[in-house]
Chain A
Amino acid sequence: MLELILTTWDALPEILQIVLKIVVIVVPIMLSVAYLTLAERKVIGYIQVRIGPNRVGPKGLLQPIADGLKLLMKEIIIPTNSNRYLFIAAPIIALAPALAAWAVIPFNAELLLSDLDAGLLYILALTSFGVYGIIIAGWASNSKYAFLGALRSAAQVVSYEIAMGFALVGVLLAAHSLNIRDIVEAQAGGVFHWFWLPLLPLFVVYFLAGVAETNRAPFDVAEGESEIVAGFHVEYSGMCFALFFLAEYANMILIAALTALMFLGGWYSPFPGLPVIGEPSIIWLFAKMSVFLFLFLWFRATFPRYRYDQIMRLGWKVFIPVTIVWLLVVAVAVLAELGPWFD
């Protein structure tokens, strides 16, 4: 059976192979996004001693489908005096990079769409690009609240991109490659061989900057539904609104995947040497991603929102100095070929 599939696969024209691969990557992401929204409502529900959605389907399992259908049927209202082309383009600009970044994410040593040498650079470029969607949306709406959201989003980028980029430089120093698969393979071994331990401050900074980058609570100032209504997407309805939602959640899953790949050994098992559970497997990657996704939800249920100048203060006075100092520590440790990580 597998033989048959492989021969048919090889017989397919190359362009069709690529299209199929793209579908295989994008469709599961869409499904995960849908069910992540349900998981979020359920988890936050239980944290707040409620039940969460439980009416549509068994235990509320069909809720995301119902939401999607509802949003698909709703009308896309374009406000008066807005720039309509930019208004329509903004959600696409937000979503396209969030999905396209997945092309270079390896799920295990073989399963990846594009084995780019500069994979990490590509990811960094695309995740930064997603912010343009938010800023353009806020500008094009020609509405006060949307405009304020866009400005706040720009402020956030200015304070977090640097810390995030520096944290990645630490990973590059340790793995000396920009290819994500090579980075994971540099961490082969058990839980103490992974980069989280020598790069601990960078690991924390990277994940928190990732939370800020995806506009999640407590850094959701661009949205801030209790201060500026809904910030950049206040004017959006129907499918356009859903696209922003898709982009945000796809980015969350992306950040979770990247953190797991770069700091927690990706698909490597924490207990090498044991039978069955010691094998490197895609399941380990998913388990690590789920932990980070749960953290995203937990943060949202726990922390109040930062003021935007507090965010900038945290970014510039804490994260950037910490990362710069720790980069030097890592650089020296790499030269000294320290421990199980850098030899």
Chain B
Amino acid sequence: MSLRISGVILGFSLLGLFSYALFSGLEMPFRASLLPVLTSIAAIPLVILAMIIDARRAQKTGSQIDESSGDLAVSEAEVSTDAFRRVSWFFLWFAGLILAAHLFGFLIALPSMVVLYLLACKETLSTAILLAGMVLAILYWGFQKGLVLPLPRGILITLLFGN
């Protein structure tokens, strides 16, 4: 999917979001609806305007990247096919990290996934173990003991070994 199509989808998603907020806001009591309704009324024409300006800019410059944004600039390297492959891989890993944390708990899942990531990036096993140990130390002594934060044990671990 080209960057331009992705940008158009983003624009229409925002349009859909504000339209939904407007119509569901109208069904709320007056006091609760004030902010969502006023916000959506102002936002809908602005989204359309932003999309038109974007389309004109893309037509004029031929570039897919909006370099005028006030946010951190996106480089050409970040929008290459290779970059998208790396980002997709990262998201898969990130989703796996969250799923593993839910199943096995933070203390097991997070260091294990760090090792997995580092090995996949061709780092040495000793580096991977060192960094995973560091993460485990921060989680256990920093958060669980230091901040007295009860880190979840994971639903699978709880099912197998109980609370």
Decide if A and B are genuine partners. Answer: no
Name B residues whose Cβ lies closer than 8 Å to a Cβ of A.
none
